[in-house]
Amino acid sequence: MSAFIQLHVLTSHAPSNLNRDDTGRPKTALMGDALRLRISSQSQKRAWRTSDVFEEALGDHLGARTRMLGKEAHDLIKAAGVEDKKAREWARQIAACFGKPKSDKKTDQDEDLQIEQLAHVSPAEHEAVLALAKACGERKAGPDEAELKLLTHEARAVDIAMFGRMLADAAEFNVEAAVQVAHAITVHRAAVEDDYFSAVDDLNPRGAGHIGERGYGAGLFYLYVCINRDLLKANLNGDDALTRKALDALLQAITKVSPTGMQNSFASRAYASYVLAEKGAQQPRSLSQAFIKPVKPFGAQSMLTEAIGALTKQRDNFNQVYGACSDEHRELNAEAGTGSLQDLAAFVQG
């Protein structure tokens, strides 16, 4: 059975709007008959994989999610002196390797050069696209069938290995995600509030040049992440050193990187306050059940202390009922000043 790493993370966010719904207000979820603030897994994963933390640790091993490969190829071919009609035709053939064209006809937005769905491409695949486009431009001839086999099983893109990819028209090149990320929710009842604001026109002595409202919320969030270490290593072609490097970068990002929504307005750049890391071959389980009853401290009680108590009690209860749900664990508690990120990283990588 696979070896799993499970991370249970508590992070406190001051007033913020890190992840908006279609109306621009913070996302929410109803749990235990109480409204909670929510940060989607998609928002968190994008923040992590595009962060400076990932770039510094894994810069040469990060893919790109895009539908614009055809546009890149077209621009390179045309720059070599090929007429636009032929450049578009050849670029469309190259882009079609990654998905169906968005349009059959040229538009002002170059939709004929875009694919319908975002494709997550590895660095090797991206480089192959650019190299083929340059070759077509130099020889003034389009790609042949053999050259259009641009998709590969080359497994050096850590973000693809972690979060997977799906190519509807080339299922054999799909990658099963080795990292599962839950939506983060507040451990307590929370409300979305409205911030009324005005922007002053500096050259208008009569007052505001703009007034408006934006939603925000604050809370202590619980996040659950499950990592299939064996699958991650398999997705990386058995490269143990790269697997360890990837696990360290992921832990660093999870504990330090916040989603980017409205950061200029709220500056909610929070580090994790508490992390429980578990390892073992047992079937994974979230500890979100600890917060079905919203945490509600009284008097001088700390929200974080109460949440940690509920979390560890739920873990102990699961262990009591099902037997040990992990082989070993480590903790980091920033409020108590116990544990360290360095020790946690060594545990996760080991």
For 226-269, the pLDDT digits (tens) are: 999 999 999 999 999 999 999 999 999 999 999 999 998 899 99
Q: How long a stretch of residues is the chain?
A: 350
In Å, how far are 29, 136, 165, 229 from 95, measured between CA atoms? Answer: 39, 14, 17, 33
Q: What number of other Cβ atoms are within 10 A of residue 46's Cβ?
A: 16
* Rg of the chain taking only CA atoms, in angstroms: 24
- Kindly state the tokens that stand for 200: 């002053």
Residues facing residue 194 across a β-bridge: 215
Contact 223, 9 (CB under 8 A): yes
pTM greater than 0.85:
yes
**C-alpha–C-alpha distance, residues 328 and 326, integer Å:** 6
What SS3 class is residue 186?
A: strand
Helix-, strand-, coil-residue percentages of the chain, each rounded to 5: 40, 25, 40
CA distance 179 to 163: 6
Give 10-residue mean pLDDT values along the chain (350 residues): 92 95 94 96 96 95 94 96 96 94 86 92 95 97 95 88 91 95 97 86 76 90 98 95 97 97 92 98 98 91 95 98 97 97 96
Report whether 92 contacts 102 (CB < 8 A).
Answer: no
> Nearest-CA neighbor of 34 among 185, 161, 171, 151?
185
Question: Would residue 271 be called left, alpha or beta, if left means φ above 0 and alpha means ψ between -120 and 50 degrees?
Answer: beta
